[in-house]
Amino acid sequence: MGVCCYEQADGFNVFAYQLAKQPLPSWSMPILQWAIPTVELLAVVLLSFPKSLKQGFMLSFLLMVAFTLYVGFGLAHVYSKVPCSCGGILNGAGWLEHLVFNICFTILAFLGWWLIRKNNEGTSDRSGKYPEHKIIKQAI
């Protein structure tokens, strides 16, 4: 997500142009061209800190669900014109490759959220603060 966010920010005009070619309402384009990279950046920031990992994984999961549905609709020819499947680290990949990639990362984001949630069950003290994640300590 961080790579995509960086590429969208670095080539903002290209991203805006590619977004304009998508089969979405024209009124949504100015909103989406700022919202998508901003929410992706927020997910990266949340994933960067142990205390916000759970929220970061959930936001990543929700983003990946949205992207996966979008690609799935493209594969199912729901759109009157098939949008460009280009972009980012999957440049040159087809719709099926995008779908498989998105499904894998959707599952990873959900597993990250679920593992942290399971790891923290019952670990909050009365102040509502959580100790550092055991998963992070094990990884280090």
| Domain spans in the chain, listed from the N-terminal domain onward | 2-139
Residue 103 makes CB contacts below 8 A (sequence gap 6+) with 68
pLDDT at 92: 76
77/16 Cα distance (integer angstroms): 23
pTM over 0.85: no
Report how far residue 14's alpha carbon sits from residue 111's, in angstroms, rounded to the nearest whole number. Answer: 33
Residues of the chain with pLDDT under 50: 5
Q: Please name the residues in contact with 48: beta carbons below 8 A apart, sequence gap of 6 or more.
A: 56
Whole-number CA gyration radius for the chain: 17
Q: Mind listing the pLDDT tens digit for each residue in 18-48?
A: 788 777 888 988 899 999 999 999 999 999 9
